[in-house]
Chains A and B, each alone.
Chain A
Amino acid sequence: MPFDIPQRQSPFALVLILYRTYLLLLKQIWPFAIYFIIKGNFGSKGSFLKVFIASAVVIMIISIIRYFRFKYSVVDREFIIEKGILNRKKTAVSIDKIQNINSEQNLIHQLFGIEKLRIETAGSSALEFELDAINTSKARELKSYLLESRIPLINDDSVMAPIDKKLIFKLSTGRLMLAGITQNHLVSILILFSFFFWIYDSARDAGINVEDYKDNIPDYTTQVTNTFILLALLFVTGILISMARTALKYYDLSFIEENEQNFKVKAGLLKRMETSAPINKIQSITWSYNLLQKPFNLYNLNIRQAVSDLRELKRSVQIIGLNKCQIENFSQELYPDLDISELTYETINVKYLTRFSLYFMLIILLGILLYFLIDGFISAIVLVLIGGYGILRTYLYYLKMGFRLDKNYLVLTGGIFGYKLTILPLYRIQAIKLLSTPYQRRNQLASLEIWSASGYVKIPYIPTMKARQISDYCLFVSEISQKSWM
């Protein structure tokens, strides 16, 4: 038994723990620190500095003790972690319950040749373990030891047959750059904007009055030009940031079929992530492209796995830069009994469009009223724009939304400015909600929410009869299924 003696993590874990706690401390106090540095005043007899140093020392001691008290071992087919400074806490999980072991390497990890391991188990998120830093070779050893010695749950639909690893997809640098350029940059521009305001606020909290510098601005035209230059700068920086983020996150992405049971994705430049997606945990897959990606045949693939909490969904497997053919091959391999190219889709009721357009019309009307009643030009423009955008969105959503109930699958298409397609095998369904408003009931319409262990898909505004038929069929397939679903 290689791991039956409790062992500590790599000594570099200590460095990491210290680094992280100090970063946390720094994040809390930096506005004060800036304030004191700018004022050149560290309190009477440097009291602030003393407090700071004292807390740093205390943190260091606590971190060292924490490092020495943290031990992991594998005894009697159980993975055990012991930790705690004053009261020792021992957490154990049976090896057989381990579902996934994901590893992660950021820049520091790579420099020291260590790895972070996250051990995921079936059931609650409280039973998930993280090992901050262990040597890469030891990590490999532990990983294969844990995964190979567990007794897999027997699935009647699959036979364990170890095959050679197969590389499904590797992202070339050219495609990576292309995918980076065609990302949705609006998000990072917005983040940049909010960061800007946050700095402004923090500076004010720290006692620096930004308004004081207003007097330096000479005249109106310069002010306008400056604002435009600033906006353009923010815009360009936003685009650059999201490109860089994509490049860092997806650098050297490879998508591997480990064996019949498991897919694996490795990616990242500074932070190397290794995520596995066991087939029986995959709840649904979605592929999508946006307006910019369409001409380059760039598809994003999102593999959604069962989670114990929906907030974990951001950890779902995301692959970018695929082309149409690769996407279709993958879906064919994962869902052999579904021929996606043959499908035609049903549409939702036109009342969806008319109803929501009406709401947005009211907003536009309010804007026009505001203009004539109180001469509120800016608010009128804003309201009309919001209303117009809302109508456009509703129209595109209505146009692109489609669904098809196949023998064993529910397939949904959609997207607003881009395109999106989701495949959900029916036997993964765990709950169905049928929602209706008074307006919908008057028109014999309803909306369906179909829930799996990775969230839900929604089909709005379809005839109630149809909704019930879909619901009945989905439940029927799900309830007679004997397959393991997560």
Chain B
Amino acid sequence: MVFENNQHEIGTLPSIDAVQYERVSPKYVRARISVLGIFFVASIMILTILSLIYPNYRLLFYLLMILMALFGSILVFYIFKSYKHIGVVVRDHDIMYKEGLWFRNEMVITFNKIQHIEISMGAIERFFNLSSLKIFTAGGSGSDLEIHGLERQNAQKLKDFILGNISSEEE
């Protein structure tokens, strides 16, 4: 590889401000809500059965159901709201990811320090044809990155692109 060392004017240095984040697949919201829904329906069923078995504590079980419904609706609200704040950017030398509605977290991983990449698919994700991409770095899981809710073929493309960049930088 030819070593290049071009001069950069400070004003033209690549800046994170200038990037445009891309959202993950909108189906990701549906996938998360489905998981929540399955959990919710299962718990309601269990609580109903319990209230039939122990009629003395019926009131308690109803209260629990109401609480769960409340908590569930807050979570649904959160899932909808936070979707807009999930974003991915792929650049020449790094990948950027952001998430979080209240507590925001923007992360950048440079390609030349990536150890390996994994694509995984849960049952629900498979149903929606979605994949998760996990990027591993050295030194523990703190700087690893997991991107959920990517279209299956996009995840594969992203993986190939990053791997291609890693090997070209190592030449």
Q: Could you say which interface size class chain B belongs to?
A: 20 to 34
Q: Which residues of B contact A435 (CB under 8 A)?
A: 103-106
Within 8 Å by CB of A486, from B14, B108, B138, B143, lies B138
Quick check: A432 and B142 within 8 Å, CB to CB?
no
Chain A positions 453 through 467: 1 when the CB is less than 8 Å from some CB of chain B, otherwise 0: 111100000000000
Q: Which residues of B contact A482 (CB under 8 A)?
A: 3
Question: From A469, which residue of chain B is reached at the shortest CB distance?
Answer: B15
Q: Is A310 engaged at the interface, CB distance under 8 Å to the other chain?
A: yes
A65 to B64, CA, bound (A): 58
Q: Which residues of B contact A438 (CB under 8 A)?
A: 102-103
Question: From A124, which residue of chain B is reached at the shortest CB distance?
Answer: B115
Q: How far is the CB of A156 from chain B (nearest CB, A)?
A: 9
Quick check: A432 and B13 within 8 Å, CB to CB?
no
Q: Which residues of A contact B145 (CB under 8 A)?
A: 431
A454 to B3, CA, bound (A): 28
Q: Is A485 engaged at the interface, CB distance under 8 Å to the other chain?
A: yes
Q: Which residues of A contact B143 (CB under 8 A)?
A: 430-431, 433, 451, 456
Quick check: A471 and B138 within 8 Å, CB to CB?
no
Q: Could you say which interface size class chain A belongs to?
A: 35 or more
Q: How far is the CB of B170 from chain A (nearest CB, A)?
A: 10
Q: How far is the CB of B112 from chain A (nearest CB, A)?
A: 7
Q: Which residues of A contact B111 (CB under 8 A)?
A: 479
Quick check: B108 and A468 within 8 Å, CB to CB?
no
Quick check: B104 and A478 within 8 Å, CB to CB?
no
Chain B positions 77 through 109: 1 when the CB is less than 8 Å from some CB of chain A, otherwise 0: 000000000000000011000000011111111
Chain A positions 285 through 312: 1 when the CB is less than 8 Å from some CB of chain B, otherwise 0: 0000000000000000000001111110
Within 8 Å by CB of B94, from A123, A310, A433, A479, lies A479
Q: How far is the CB of B103 from chain A (nearest CB, A)?
A: 6
Q: A453-B139, A454-B139, A471-B16 are in contact. Are A431 and B104 (CB under 8 A)?
A: no
Quick check: B14 and A476 within 8 Å, CB to CB?
yes
Q: Is B113 engaged at the interface, CB distance under 8 Å to the other chain?
A: yes
Q: Is A475 engaged at the interface, CB distance under 8 Å to the other chain?
A: yes
A479 to B13, CA, bound (A): 13
Q: Which residues of A contact B107 (CB under 8 A)?
A: 431-434
Q: Is B110 engaged at the interface, CB distance under 8 Å to the other chain?
A: yes
Q: How far is the CB of A235 from chain B (nearest CB, A)?
A: 36
Within 8 Å by CB of A453, from B3, B15, B137, lies B137
Chain A positions 427 through 447: 1 when the CB is less than 8 Å from some CB of chain B, otherwise 0: 001111111111001000000
Quick check: B140 and A310 within 8 Å, CB to CB?
yes
Chain B positions 13 through 50: 1 when the CB is less than 8 Å from some CB of chain A, otherwise 0: 11111000000000000000000000000000000000
Q: Which residues of B contact A373 (CB under 8 A)?
A: none
Q: How far is the CB of B15 from chain A (nearest CB, A)?
A: 5
Quick check: B138 and A310 within 8 Å, CB to CB?
no
Q: Which residues of B contact A468 (CB under 8 A)?
A: 15-17
A436 to B3, CA, bound (A): 37
Within 8 Å by CB of A456, from B8, B106, B108, B142, lies B142
Nearest first, the 3 closest Cβ-Cβ pairs linking A and B are: A430-B113, A310-B140, A453-B138
Which A residues have a C-beta under 8 Å from some C-beta of B? 123, 283, 306-311, 429-438, 441, 451-456, 468, 471-473, 475-476, 478-482, 485-486
Which B residues have a C-beta under 8 Å from some C-beta of A? 3, 5, 8, 13-17, 93-94, 102-115, 137-143, 145
The 10 sampled A-B contact pairs (Cβ below 8 Å) are A306-B138, A429-B110, A431-B113, A431-B143, A431-B145, A433-B143, A435-B104, A435-B105, A475-B110, A479-B111
